[in-house]
Amino acid sequence: MNIINLNLGDRSYPIHIASGLLDQISSILSEKNRGQKWIIISQYRLMELFGFDLMGRLKSSGFTTDFITVPIGEAAKSINEFSRIISQMIEMNCDRSTSILALGGGVVGDVAGFAASTFMRGVDYYQIPTTLLAMVDSAIGGKTGINIAEGKNLVGAIYQPKAVFVDPTLLKSLPKEEVISGLGEIIKYGAIKDKEFFNEISNSLENIESFPFEKIIYRACEIKADIVTLDEREGSIRRILNFGHTIGHALEAHFGYGKLRHGEAVSYGMICAGWISNQLGHLSDNDYQRLKKTIEKLPLPMLNNFDQNKILPFVKNDKKTVSGKLNFVILDTLGSAITTKDVSDELILNSLKVIQ
């Protein structure tokens, strides 16, 4: 088993990564079991796939367990669902000693983590990510939250889990499009932080069927953990994780969250941001082409002819705007990202032509 330690003083925690890890969680957690209630928060489909097995193992190791399910999709990240989770926990006689296990993708992780951060002013929780995106991104770093009518993730907390358990074998049942979406975020880690890793991902994408998930997930988690350690609350360097996201979020909002998955939108967003980096005299022609060709190895959904002018307002709405100015992440070289406020509307509009 591989363990990465995310170092944040007394909020530090291990990220365990191993194939078959799900079966070992009960023994790893047994030293944390002081007779409290352990609540698995998940989706019913995921309970059937993995959750009931996990519960069985926990029970036979002496844990007191129960489970709460939330709906599929962003609907789970709502005030209503959040409040339902809290009410169910009260009904289940949960108290301050209760521990939560968030078993699912980013949706489950975000709402379960937020419930953990607020229930009785905060209880322990553990992330057990089941999507590729959650394994390399949302389960690590403590960002939790829900959506409101005015926008996504506008209510939340930074609240770190006590451990993260990544078992790449859970990806076997994950729909292919969800895997592709996660691969987009993985390309991002190479592009912003590690050229050698970028090359390794690019070569591995030649044959997605035999993609070395465990090894690649490990390095991606290491990069995310390093960045969070340096800047937990996104005051500076953590911002580079938003590479591809300013235009990505705008594409996601324009095409509808159902049509274009997050990582797919970010993949297109990275091509645009790469093109802008090149225009601003940073990323070399060669590196830009290498970035674009690598992203194009992913079978992304085609973007039908769209009107760039309709995307721009969404770009400007992005919450990464500080005092009205966009804080845009660009690449200096492959493997090194910087932020700039010098990205004009015209550059953004022209970059969108590249992905049409």
Ligand X SMILES: NC(=O)c1ccc[n+]([C@@H]2O[C@H](COP(=O)([O-])OP(=O)(O)OC[C@H]3O[C@@H](n4cnc5c(N)ncnc54)[C@H](O)[C@@H]3O)[C@@H](O)[C@H]2O)c1
Interaction of residue 239 with ligand X, rule CB under 6 A: no
Report in angstroms how near the CB of residue 174 gets to ligand X at its nearest: 4
> Quick one: 228 or 273, whose CB is closer to ligand X?
228
Structural contact between residues 306 and 247, judged by C-beta atoms closer than 8 angstroms: no
Interaction of residue 269 with ligand X, rule CB under 6 A: no
- Locate 277 and state its tokens: 């980096």
- Dihedral sign of CA atoms 118, 120, 122, 128 in order: negative
Residues 26 to 45: which contact ligand X by CB under 6 A? 43, 45
Question: SS3 of 123, please?
Answer: coil
Interaction of residue 249 with ligand X, rule CB under 6 A: no
> Quick one: 115 or 134, whose CB is closer to ligand X?
134
C-alpha 46/C-alpha 335 separation (Å) is 36
Residues 152 to 181: which contact ligand X by CB under 6 A? 152-153, 170, 173-174, 178, 181
Q: Which of 211, 67, 41, 60 is nearest to 128 (CA)?
A: 41
Structural contact between residues 247 and 278, judged by C-beta atoms closer than 8 angstroms: no
> Quick one: 47 or 283, whose CB is closer to ligand X?
47
Residues 322 to 341: which contact ligand X by CB under 6 A? none
> Quick one: 107 or 270, whose CB is closer to ligand X?
107
C-alpha 94/C-alpha 119 separation (Å) is 9
Choose, by CB under 6 A, the member of 17, 134, 240, 295 that binds ligand X: 134
DSSP state, 300?
A: P
Which residue among the candidates 31, 34, 93, 121 is catalytic per the annotation?
121
Choose, by CB under 6 A, the member of 130, 202, 242, 267 that binds ligand X: 130
Angle between helices 345-353 and 245-255 (to 10 degrees): 70
Interaction of residue 143 with ligand X, rule CB under 6 A: yes
Whole-angstrom Cα Rg for the chain? 20
Q: Is 34 one of the catalytic residues?
A: no
> Quick one: 182 or 274, whose CB is closer to ligand X?
182
- Total residues contacting ligand X by CB under 6 A comes to 30
> Quick one: 194 or 232, whose CB is closer to ligand X?
232
Interaction of residue 68 with ligand X, rule CB under 6 A: no
Q: Is 254 one of the catalytic residues?
A: no
Residue whose structure tokens are 């499009």:
177
Question: SS3 of 197, please?
Answer: helix
Interaction of residue 107 with ligand X, rule CB under 6 A: yes
Which residue among the candidates 77, 249, 254, 261 is catalytic per the annotation?
249
- Locate 272 and state its tokens: 């645009």
C-alpha 198/C-alpha 200 separation (Å) is 5
Q: Is 304 one of the catalytic residues?
A: no
C-alpha 116/C-alpha 111 separation (Å) is 9
H-state helical runs in 231-307:
245-255, 262-279, 285-295
Catalytic residue positions?
Answer: 121, 143, 185, 224, 234, 238, 242, 245, 249, 262
Give the interface with ligand X as residue ranges (CB under 6 A): 43, 45-46, 49, 72-74, 77, 104-108, 110, 130-131, 133-134, 137-138, 141, 143, 152-153, 170, 173-174, 178, 181, 262
